[in-house]
Structure 1
Amino acid sequence: MHDAPDPAASAAATRSGTSRSTSATIAPNILRYLARVAEEDGVDLRPVLEEVGLDATVMRSATLRVSYRQGSDVIRRALERTGDEHLGLRVGAAQHLTAWGPLGLAMMAAETFQEAIETGLRYQNLTGAMLVWSARWEDDGYVLRADLPDPALDPAVAVFLIEEAYSSVATLTRLNVGASFAPEVVDFAFPAPRDTRPFEELFRCPLRFGAPGNRLVLPARWVRATQPGRDSITYTSTLELLDSQLASRRDQQDLLEVLEVSIAQSLPDVPSFVEQARRHASSERTLRRRLAECGTTYEALVDGVRRERVEQLLPRPESTLRDISRQVGFADVRALRRAVRRWHGVTPVELRARLLERRGGGRRGVSLTSGGVSA
């Protein structure tokens, strides 16, 4: 379950002109299981992880947080290297609640399955998935929704994340409350794959592809059932620990958002790190330490803000590559192209088409060029 935007994050994003926070960090649970599953296929992801700063020592850290961007990049590379169109299903099915640490324990100790789900939703900022989760009772049952927070996300990565999300729900539910569990129905917003048998074998229920949204409908009898591992004392004490962790995360996120706002408001110029330390009445050493505790660096924040601004400007027909390069502080169009390729694995023109398609708009027959817009 993913870092859900909170009001402070939304306010900061609005002030900075960005659509959401670029500094969101997650526990690397997905990446750890992804590396394990890829290894079964003979694919070593260690070089890919090291390229984004996640060597073996770092990945073993219990306190490690990785950026949403790092996670997306590793997943995209893993999909390319394995060639497995059902990689997300396999990664989800390989998991256990113990990977979620104290939150997993709290969910196992909850009185009912519904209470376990609501606990997961409440503390989803502390988990390692990369989606925004919500749940509510609807006409056909208790519906668990998973939404993608990034409109510019690579479509293959988006499919992976939804597959992994619902696969892990089905797998962990069977481990926690009973092997016979099956959803009422699962809706996927992406088109049906060539082979749907892995989905049928995993979910054991009707499936609908190309649906308006991603929905997993849970039967009422399972949602209201008491859990075999329920323990009120363990549940209460674990929630106290989670509340403490959540407060610490919010403090960290506040720092990142303030820095993002400062960077975004200054573009195309970027305040130096020395200037940022002065603005926050902090020494450079202290500010670097605080950013390290957040799992990031000032350079990564600058890169994230630039990326967000590029993704805002690309869909605008009047924006040329030269204009965009100038507005985000790149030296020239070549630097912009290299950055977009690094972020998304595509050219700026390809990314623009993707953004327009995902937003359901854009002028047909209009292409982005270096110096202007041509039909």
Structure 2
Amino acid sequence: MPDVPPRITSPGTSRSTSATIAPNILHYLVRVTDACGVDLQPLLNRVGLDPTVMGSAELRVSYRQGSDVIRQAVELTGDEHLGLRVGAAQHLTAWGLLGFAMMAADTQEEAIETGVRYQNLSGAMTVWSAGWEDVGYVLRADLPDPALDPTVAVFLIEEAFSSVVTLTRLSIGASFAPQAVEFAFPAPRDTRPFDELFRCPLRFDAAGNRMVIPARWARAAMPGRDPITYTSVLDVLEKDMTSRREQQDVLEVLEISIAQSLPDIPSFIEQARKHASSERTLRRRLAECGTTYEAIVDGVRRERVEQLLRRPELTLRDIARQAGFADVSALRRAVRRWHGVTPLELRAGLLLREAPTSRPRA
């Protein structure tokens, strides 16, 4: 094997849970659950994703929205391997223009590195990295938040590796199999679906989530390789990446400003003035991100409430005051809208999931 080059990562891949992403996973999640006889549309409606919105090519959903839908979809289906099924249901077009670029790459290694570099455009909810290691060519998937709900964490890692294997078989050969796959989460009760899908040695309770790809497959030529097409598509992706990065910067700046101001909520006019922008320009930039100032405030408040509910010594009155609500009744209405439960029921669930006896996180 040649000298080991630096690991490939994507600019800005330290994705926060406030990031906005393409809803690719949710589209395939709906397809899979529909086939199981479970209608997710009422759930999608509750988080603001009605059919018209979901059909928009420009739609971006928050990481929080995606996580909520996934968690509740797993509960509704009762399918502990739902992530595997969603990944295996995907097609070569699942990653949009990025998938087209990967198909036009010269080798599988170049295709993977392209996917990693532009992962923020693909709707990925994990953070990918790749490179040669002592054991071979390694693709790693990390979670953006180590405190992510364990149910969502397991789903995301299953979906991530399942989709990679599925799309690789579709692009370079049905006989493809990794050299090994390691998962940081505990072994499920039934590992047969993993054996059937990956067809390689598996390890659970590992130090991290990684897939080792045999060198011959990493260096395999892509059937659709086309240098001219590949270069042309990369130019488009680079421009889109720059635009998305600028949009995300706007969201993060506003979220930080709101979080630092709680319990007070700065007005939209104050935010525009603070960040040297006109109201019209700031509103347009938020519209380009697929959101509004009110939605950002709601998201920051929600995150703050969830943090405060994890502190048993705080009363609901304390939490309402610190999160900027007028009274406990307003807090209750907000929590009911976000989670469909009362604040005390949400607190009980959060504390139960984080208790020492809860399932270890992925």
Q: Which residue of 2 aligns with 1:124?
A: 119
Match of 2:12 among 6, 12, 19: 6
Q: CA RMSD in A?
A: 2.7
1:113 equivalenced with 2:103 (yes/no): no
1:140 equivalenced with 2:146 (yes/no): no
User: Residue type of the partner of 1:104?
Assistant: G
Preserved CA contact (<8 Å) 1:22 1:305:
no
Q: Post-superposition shift, 1:200?
A: 0.7
Preserved CA contact (<8 Å) 2:17 2:145:
no
Q: Post-superposition shift, 1:157?
A: 1.4
TM-score, normalisation: structure 2: 0.86
Q: Comparing 212-221 with 149-158, which one deviates more in the overlay?
A: 149-158
Aligned length: 346
TM-score, normalisation: structure 1: 0.84
User: Residue type of the partner of 2:36?
Assistant: D
Match of 2:236 among 234, 237, 241: 241
Q: Which residue of 2 aligns with 1:91?
A: 86
- Secondary structure at the counterpart of residue 23 of structure 1: coil
Preserved CA contact (<8 Å) 2:67 2:152:
yes
Segments of structure 2 that go 5 or more residues without pairing to the other structure are: 1-8
1:351 equivalenced with 2:353 (yes/no): no
Alpha carbons of structure 1 residues 312 and 299: separation in structure 2 relative to 1, 3 Å: same
User: Residue type of the partner of 2:296?
Assistant: L
Q: Which residue of 1 aligns with 2:211?
A: 216
Q: Post-superposition shift, 1:353?
A: 5.2
1:197 equivalenced with 2:188 (yes/no): no
Alpha carbons of structure 1 residues 66 and 344: separation in structure 2 relative to 1, 3 Å: same
Match of 1:166 among 161, 166, 172: 161
Q: Which residue of 2 aligns with 1:82?
A: 77
Q: Which residue of 1 aligns with 2:4?
A: none
User: Residue type of the partner of 1:294?
Assistant: C
Q: Post-superposition shift, 1:275?
A: 2.1
Structure 1 CA distance for aligned equivalents of residues 210 and 17 of structure 2: 26
Per-residue CA shift, 1:8-45, capped at 9, x if unaligned?
Answer: xx7xxxxxxxxx74430111110111101111111111
Preserved CA contact (<8 Å) 2:268 2:279:
yes
Preserved CA contact (<8 Å) 2:128 2:139:
yes
Structure 2 CA distance for aligned equivalents of residues 292 and 48 of structure 1: 24
Q: Comparing 41-50 with 315-324, which one deviates more in the overlay?
A: 315-324
- Secondary structure at the counterpart of residue 134 of structure 1: strand
Q: Comparing 277-286 with 259-268, which one deviates more in the overlay?
A: 277-286
User: Residue type of the partner of 1:111?
Assistant: D
Percent of pairs with identical residues: 76
Structure 2 CA distance for aligned equivalents of residues 210 and 152 of structure 1: 17
